């Protein structure tokens, strides 16, 4: 029997039950839902809608339900449609008639929105923390290889040499933007919908701002219709995770390339590599491939949610129940990728010699020659043309550009540019890839990372102690 059975004369058909039940996946929300219910009880006590004794009984029953879930002894009843009804049903079993007062001045519509916002706040914190960990891994790896360098690419064609730390920090900057977005998303997620009722509030004298404060929300809803139908926070979290996933995917693709025999810039540790069932010699970079692949479903989860939301009339519609699995999935997937990629970077060996050899390709000095001519007063377009001709000569005669330059009396003075590592040191404009500005850039990145860490810590203070997700 469901909690709404009074109105109905027959039981729900089993195919509709299968379609509509959500307990099978939303039960993981129990700590957030129970925290929301406890705050709601305190609100009811304050409003005089339940007595102090009744409130104490309700809170004790909710704590017992929490313990049952935590100790894995909560039993779902066949009528529990979702986690909210399961918890309320059990509270009624434990607290009798008093339990039947729990849902006073509340609907599952404001309840589920509250619960899911609490979950999302927790998830945002965790993804942010894990992203910061990966940033630290990248920065540490760069620091540990202070002098290492490799070719920088455009169009995946060798372009100019770059420090390894500069290259890894480029990824770290992208991840810092993700962190920034995740932290910003908190502001719009931390709005309490509790007290909006089914859609229009209630005639009972509740104070939504009180429960908002108890739950550690930054603010409270302004419009009850919006409160129960708004899932912008889910879309935003999904976008932020998808964008992060796209960055991780690009890093994954790069690791795939770096660990090929053709590039040979890095070797994964055995702990983070996989073998082949047939080819005994294989050492595969599945970790990087999966990081690359997962972004597809992260984007899919975002797209699916946006399409689900599109066209929904105000206010709550059952369609909104479909908001959960995409976020659960994106959250779990991105956490796995962050952890595994971090491990892969932390334990991989960077082939300093192979990367430096590739970065000493004489063609990568062509721009330096052109810029040297510019310093001597030659307009850049003409300098480009002159060096381009030398490059063409090297290509057609199958000789190294350095040899062509050394043998040409008009350009032999530039031969020193081709000495190992020289081109790298010439990258010295602000933000460029050479050693000259590396320290400044490193400090800039590290201070931004530290500031993000502080913002993360500030946000967690508001969360009630007993809101801890069971997720990972
Ligand atoms: N399981 C539902 C959801 O996730 C809870 C809200 C149900 N509300 C309703 N009016 N049927 O959205």
pLDDT at 279: 85
178 and 258 in a common domain: yes
| Rounded distance from Cα 241 to ligand 1 centre (Å) | 25
Q: Do 41 and 59 contact (CB within 8 A), yes or no?
A: yes
Q: What is the mean pLDDT of residues 60-65?
A: 98
Q: Whose CA is nearest to atom 3 of ligand 1?
A: 321
Residue 160 in contact with ligand 1 by CB distance below 6 A:
no
In the predicted model, what is the mean pLDDT of the chain? 95
Tell me phi and psi for residue 163, to 5 degrees.
Answer: -65, 145
Q: What percent of the chain has pLDDT over 70?
A: 97
pLDDT reading at 471 higher than 60: no
Is any ligand 1 atom within 6 A of the Cβ of residue 29?
no
Q: Are residues 258 and 117 in the same domain?
A: yes
Q: Give the distance (Å) from ligand 1 centre to CA of residue 321.
A: 6
* pLDDT over threshold 60, residue 149: yes
Domain of 210, CATH number, reads 1.20.200.10
**326 CA distance to ligand 1 centroid (A)?**
16
Q: 387 and 323, same structural domain?
A: no
294 and 353 in a common domain: yes
Q: Write the pLDDT tens digit of every residue in 151-205.
A: 999 999 999 999 999 999 999 999 999 999 999 999 999 999 999 999 999 999 9
224, part of any domain: yes
Give domain status of residue 415, yes or no.
Answer: yes
Residue whose C-alpha is closest to residue 116's, from 322, 299, 313, 317: 322
Ligand 1 atom 12: the closest Cα is on which residue? 321
DSSP-assigned letter for residue 100: G
- Let me know if residue 4 belongs to a domain: no
Establish if 375 belongs to a structural domain.
Answer: yes
Pairing of strands 219-220, 191-192: parallel
Closest approach atom of ligand 1 to CA 83: 1
In sequence order, what are the beta bridge partners of 267? 349
Average pLDDT over residues 336-340: 98
Residue 404: closest CA among 366, 356, 373, 376? 366
Give 161's DSSP letter: E
Per-residue pLDDT tens for 279-331? 889 889 999 999 999 999 999 999 999 999 999 999 999 999 999 999 999 99
- Residue range 280-294, pLDDT digits in tens: 898 899 999 999 999
The pLDDT of residue 465 is above 70? no
Here the CATH number for the domain that contains residue 398 is 1.10.40.30
Residues 196 and 307 in one domain: yes
Does residue 82's CB lie within 6 angstroms of at least one atom of ligand 1?
A: yes
What residue owns the CA closest to ligand 1's atom 7?
108
Instruction: Classify strands 266-267 and 349-350 as parallel, antiparallel or unpaired.
Output: antiparallel
User: What are 345-399's pLDDT values in tens digits?
Assistant: 999 999 999 999 999 999 999 999 999 999 999 999 999 999 999 999 999 999 9
Mean pLDDT of all residues in 460-465: 58
Q: 98: domain range?
A: 15-104
Spatial separation of the C-alpha atoms in residues 43 and 286, rounded to whole Å: 51
Distance (Å) from CA 114 to ligand 1 centroid: 12
Q: Binning pLDDT at 50, 70 and 90, where does residue 7 land?
A: confident
User: Same domain for 250 and 347?
Assistant: yes
Q: Is 108 in the pocket of ligand 1 (CB under 6 A)?
A: yes
Instruction: Report CA(61)–ligand 1 centroid distance (Å).
Output: 23
Number of folded domains that form the chain: 3
Pairing outcome for strands 157-163 and 266-267:
unpaired
Residue 328 shares a structural domain with residue 407: no
Peptide bond before 287: cis, by omega within 30 degrees of 0?
no
**Do 68 and 174 reside in the same domain of the chain?**
no
Q: Is 316 in the pocket of ligand 1 (CB under 6 A)?
A: yes
pTM of the model: 0.95
φ, ψ dihedrals at 445, nearest 5°: -65, -45
By the 8 A CB rule, do 54 and 99 touch? Answer: no
Band (pLDDT 50/70/90 cuts) for residue 1 is low
Q: Could you tell me the CA-to-CA distances from 456 to 153, 177, 329, 464 in Å, in that order? A: 34, 14, 23, 15
- 131 within ligand 1 shell (Cβ under 6 A): no
Name beta bridge partners: 143. none
150, 167 Cβ separation under 8 angstroms: yes
Helix (H) or strand (E) holding 253, with range, is helix 232-258
Say whether pLDDT at 472 is over 60: no
Q: pLDDT (tens digit, 9 = 90+) per residue, 165-174? A: 999 999 999 9
């Amino acid at each position: 029997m469901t909690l709404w059975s009074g109105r109905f004369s027959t039981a729900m058909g089993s195919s509709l039950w299968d379609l509509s039940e959500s307990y099978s996946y939303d039960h993981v929300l129990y700590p957030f839902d129970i925290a929301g219910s406890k705050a709601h009880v305190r609100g009811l006590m304050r409003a005089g809608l339940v007595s102090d004794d009744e409130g104490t009984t309700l809170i004790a029953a909710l704590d017992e339900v929490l313990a049952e879930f935590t100790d894995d002894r909560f039993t779902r009843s066949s009528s529990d449609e979702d986690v909210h009804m399961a918890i309320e049903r059990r509270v009624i079993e434990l607290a009798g008639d008093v339990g039947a007062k729990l849902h006073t001045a509340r609907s599952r519509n404001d309840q589920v929105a509250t619960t899911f916002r609490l979950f999302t706040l927790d998830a945002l914190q965790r993804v942010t923390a894990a992203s910061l960990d990966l940033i630290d891994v990248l920065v540490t790896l760069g620091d540990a290889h202070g002098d290492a360098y490799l070719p920088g690419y455009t169009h995946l064609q060798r372009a100019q040499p770059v420090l390894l730390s500069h290259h890894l920090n480029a990824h770290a900057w992208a991840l810092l933007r993700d962190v920034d977005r995740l932290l910003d998303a908190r502001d719009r997620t931390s709005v309490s919908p509790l007290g909006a009722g089914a859609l229009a509030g209630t005639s009972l004298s509740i104070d939504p701002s009180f429960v908002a404060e108890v739950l550690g929300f930054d603010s409270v809803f302004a419009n009850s219709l919006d409160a129960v139908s708004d899932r912008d926070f889910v879309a935003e979290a999904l976008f932020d995770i998808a964008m992060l996933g796209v960055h991780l995917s690009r890093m994954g693709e790069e690791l795939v390339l770096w660990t090929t025999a053709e590039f040979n810039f890095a070797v994964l540790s055995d702990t983070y590599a996989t073998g082949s069932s047939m080819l005994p010699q294989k050492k595969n970079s599945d970790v990087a491939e999966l990081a690359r692949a997962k972004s597809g479903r992260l984007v899919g989860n975002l797209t699916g949610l946006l399409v689900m939301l599109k066209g929904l009339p105000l206010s709550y519609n059952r369609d909104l129940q479909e908001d959960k699995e995409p976020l659960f999935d994106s959250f779990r997937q991105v956490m796995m990728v962050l952890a595994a990629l971090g491990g892969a970077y932390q334990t991989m060996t960077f082939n300093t010699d192979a990367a430096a050899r590739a970065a000493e390709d004489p063609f990568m000095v062509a721009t330096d020659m052109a810029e040297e001519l510019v310093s001597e007063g030659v307009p850049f377009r003409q300098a480009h043309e002159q060096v381009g001709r030398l490059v063409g000569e090297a290509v057609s005669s199958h000789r190294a550009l350095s040899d062509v330059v050394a043998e040409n009396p008009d350009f032999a003075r530039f031969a020193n540019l081709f000495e190992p590592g020289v081109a790298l040191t010439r990258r010295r404009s602000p933000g460029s890839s050479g050693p000259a500005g590396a320290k400044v850039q490193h400090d800039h990145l590290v201070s931004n990372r530290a500031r993000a860490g502080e913002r993360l810590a500030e946000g967690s203070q508001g969360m009630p102690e007993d809101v801890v997700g069971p997720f990972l």
